[in-house]
Structure 1
Amino acid sequence: MINKAGKELTWLFALKILSRLFDLTLNILVLRDLEPGIYGLTTNLDLLTNVTLFYLKIVLKQTYSRLKDPNQEQTQSAVNLMYFGLLITICISPITVFVMSYNQSVNFAKTAFLYGISAIIDGASEPYAVQWIIQLKLNVIAKAEGLAVFIKTIVLYILLGKYTREIFQIETLIGFGIAQVIYSIIVFVYIFSLSTKTKPKLLNEEGVYVVSEMKQIGYQFTLMAFMKFLLQELEKIVMVIYNNPIISGEFTLVSHIGSIIPRFIYVNIEQIAYNLFPKISQDEQQQLLQKYLRFLNLIGISIVSAGIPCASAFLQIYGTQWTADSCVLAMQLYCIYIWIMGINGITESYVNSTIATKDMGWYRYLLIAQTIIYSLSLVIMVQLGSSGIIISNILSMSVRIFVSFLIIHKSGIQIQWSRILPKFWILYICGFLLQYLTQGFQLLILTAIYYGILGLVNLRTVIDVIKSN
């Protein structure tokens, strides 16, 4: 089982990282001529998508992913559940589009409509993706999303690129909307073309569409996931209410750059771990969790020690409009946030996939308390700009990690701290200090060489995660 997950992880790493690097490369060409205020409005659009797909992709998807060894009836139940979620998505989409478009420009309203359509199409692929997720054949999902990102980026560059924008005469925001719709269509068509057994149907003669076990878990996860959704998306909600496009633009750019690691490495490790942890013994859980933690610490320490000194030099690639002190500071803080995010993701994956149903009640109260604390800190810290938002995220996620480790310890898992740190980690601190001796493009080259060598020293850690043996 673990080796099978390792093969899928290899596909996910290779395809998604390549597609994301391609995405960032072409986006540099687009963003060099884009004002921060205009780009900041894409925060509203991301929030629209996340709200619309929240119940389908967060609650219901996690519900069936907890199944240890799903039989044919449970698999069909999962398909039925995702059709129910799709119906909810279709109902939520126009409401979300209307609310987000209220008192906005006509171009924003048109783009919001396109994002709403995109969310529905994206949601329509979920019933067809059930069989691949349950069987841990995540390479199908990786190929679909990798191809979609690749084509979406090309479309975005054609519509908004410096040398092609005059040909199509399309407003900037609407160009983002068209590219998003194309992304969703490609994901749907790819997964649909390979899937079978995807029609909703009764499980037995009594007229049951969803097994009782899945209903119960789904109910519990609805309450828990709502709290987690607020913890993850509250920053966007506050930025929309605060209505400062410059702050939103800086935060969106920084998070877009930093999303290479969280969205295309962390998310896939967490998805595999979430499906895998319930299916293996506790000893295997401990070994696997330690491997993941060591790998995530390797990535996190590397990003912190290399990213903070290089933040200003790196942002110059995107144009001088992005090199303000506030944006550079936000980029530096986000490097720390990426590290914290990885540790939080894997520990919460373990907790959410293994916690007993009877313990979900008090865990939910902990999430409520964390949400209240995060909300208060975010409202206060947003006054500091994009950096304040990131500081609030770091503090909130640190508390969540502490709670997760308490639950992990209670479950009987004993983390050996010496096994979750990369080899020669002290050299990363030395590298952090040495980088301040040089500047500009030369800094980026020397940093890449130095950390490339350290990466080779720790190559075994990466191989262990990919193979998971």
Structure 2
Amino acid sequence: MLKVLSLWFDSRRVRTYWFDPYLLNLATTMTKQSLLKHLLTEGDKMLVTALSSDTDQGVYAFVANYGSLIARILFQPLEETGRTLFSKVLADINRPSPSDTTSLPTSHITAAQHTTLLTSAQLLLTLLQLHTLLGLVFLTLATNYTGTLIDLLVGPRWSLAHPAPHVLSIYCAYIPVMGINGITEAFVQAVASDTDLGTLSRFMILFSVAFVGAGYVFMRVLGWGAVGLVAANGVNLGLRVMYSWNYIRKYYLLDRGHDLAEMRSIVSVMAWWPSWETMAAFVGAWAVTAWSERTVGWATMTDKARHVAVGAVCGVAVLAVV
């Protein structure tokens, strides 16, 4: 009888879980980070309210609302899909072992796992190459059509009497950084341990401090207005891209018992940088469309049609080179 009671009390001491402890801890960490990212994302609104005039606030709100459509429609689906895919594909590789729950795994992996790792690196490289090409489209072509777009959408009051076309052009240069940051952070969130995600959150706070400092310099000291806020956002996301890319390189170049020569060639910035021919084509397209904007303009519907036709020809020429 005493033995039965002892076994019953021992069974009562056994800790049971409704959820997997590792996954629950990871989900909690990612939820905290998502809330932090939301607060940091809304920081530009607080900064523009504190440091800019009513006109600059209106121009930035106008530009951000239209510019962010690209991120919502084009970049966000790629980011979410990439996060889910990398999380599933690398689940057997990135999950820490029971003896090491604080860092990336350092044990050797099988040949099949190494092949999976290479495939995921090539997929990440393809996504970065795609984002780079899309970014060059916005940087070299879209920047010369912001006035035409705004004039068609809301009329000459915004396209001529406000600096909105110029600010939107700067925002077009900011869009590539936004896209690359999205896919690199998605990868980090997919493979990082809860400790690494906590470290990322702390660094994001530091990056936000840099964002506030850059915003103060650009908007208050240099007087750039809404352009300064876009530039400050670029500084913030640029720092986040650098952190994420450094993490990605460490993750893929970790010694797991296999040759890293091929991996080094994949996880290189030069690997997702376009060829010189492609860059020359984009630069030429920018020069031609900039000339068209200055000489043809967008004053009438005929001028708009001619200007857009020039851009279409340049786009086809770039596509032929790419």
Mark yes or no: TM-score above 0.5: yes
User: Partner of 1:320 in structure 2?
Assistant: 156
Deviation at 1:401, TM superposition (A): 0.8
1:395 counterpart = 2:273: no
Q: Which runs of 5+ in 1 are unaligned?
A: 1-205, 459-469
Matches within 5 A, 1:58-457: 210-241=19-50, 244-280=53-89, 281-317=116-152, 318-323=154-159, 324=161, 326-383=163-220, 384-412=224-252, 414=264, 415-422=267-274, 424-438=278-292, 439-440=296-297, 441=304, 442-455=306-319, 457=321
Shift of 1:209: 6.1
Cα pair 1:270 1:345 within 8 Å, conserved: yes
Q: In the aligned structure 2, how far is the partner of 1:372 from the partner of 1:226?
A: 17
Which digits, 9 at most, give the CA deviation of each residue in 1:211-233, with x for residues without a partner? 43343123322443343223322
Deviations 1:369-412 (A, max 9, x none): 11211123234434432111101011111111111111011102
CA distance in 2, matches of 1:282, 1:296: 21
Q: Is the 8 A contact 1:220 1:360 kept in 2?
A: yes
User: What residue number does 2:98 align with?
Assistant: none
Letter of the structure 1 residue corresponding to residue 212 of structure 2? S
- Asked if the contact 1:378–1:392 (Cα under 8 Å) also holds between the matched residues in 2, the reply is yes
* Alignment partners' CA distance in 1, 2:24 and 2:79: 23
Query: 2-side partners of 1:207 and 1:249: how far apart?
Result: 55
For 1:420, give the aligned amino acid: W
SS at match of 2:252: coil
- What's the CA shift string for 1:47-92, capped at 9, x where partnerless? xxxxxxxxxxxxxxxxxxxxxxxxxxxxxxxxxxxxxxxxxxxxxx
Tell me the amino acid that sits aligned with residue 370 of structure 1: F
Question: Partners in 2 of 1:444 and 1:209 — Cα distance?
Answer: 59
Render the CA deviation track for 1:309-364: whole Å, top value 9, x for unaligned. Answer: 22223322221221245322211110111011111111111111111223233323
Q: Tell me, which stretches of 5 or more residues in structure 2 are unaligned?
A: 1-14, 90-115, 254-263, 298-303
Distance 2:250 2:49 in 1: 39
How far does residue 257 in structure 1 lie from its aligned partner after superposition? 2.5
Say which one has the larger Rg: 2
How far apart, in 1, do the equivalents of 2:252 and 2:231 lie?
32
Counterpart Cα distance in 1 of 2:29 and 2:141: 41
Query: How far is the alpha carbon of 1:301 from its aligned partner?
Result: 0.5
**Residues 223 and 380 (structure 1 numbering): CA distance in 2 closer, same or farther, change over 3 Å?**
farther
Q: What is the CA-CA distance between 1:235 and the residue it aligns to?
A: 0.7
The Cα of 1:307 is off from its aligned counterpart by 2.0
In the alignment, the residues of structure 1 paired with residue 201 and residue 290 of structure 2 have an alpha-carbon distance, to the nearest angstrom, of 45
> CA shift at 1:434, angstroms?
1.6
Distance 1:279 1:409, change over 3 A: same
Q: Distance in 2 between matches of 1:420 and 1:251?
A: 31
- Could you list the per-position Cα deviations for residues 403-457 of structure 1 after superposition, in whole angstroms to 9, with x for gaps in the alignment? 1111011102542445423452210001111223223212222112311342355
Query: 2-side partners of 1:395 and 1:418: how far apart?
Result: 21
Secondary structure in structure 2 of the residue aligned to 1:410: helix
- Name the residue aligned to 1:193: none
* Displacement after TM superposition at 1:296 (Å): 0.5
Contact 2:281 2:321 in 1 (8 A): no
SS class of match (2:165):
helix
Q: What is the TM-score normalised by the length of structure 1? A: 0.50
Q: 1:332–1:444: structure 2 CA closer, same or farther, 3 Å change rule? A: same
- Paired with 1:385 and 1:432, the residues of 2 have a C-alpha distance of 25
Spell out, residue by residue over 1:27-61, the C-alpha distance to the aligned partner (whole angstroms, 9 max, x if none): xxxxxxxxxxxxxxxxxxxxxxxxxxxxxxxxxxx
Figure out how many residues of one structure are paired with residues of the other and give that number.
253
Alpha carbons of structure 1 residues 243 and 385: separation in structure 2 relative to 1, 3 Å? closer
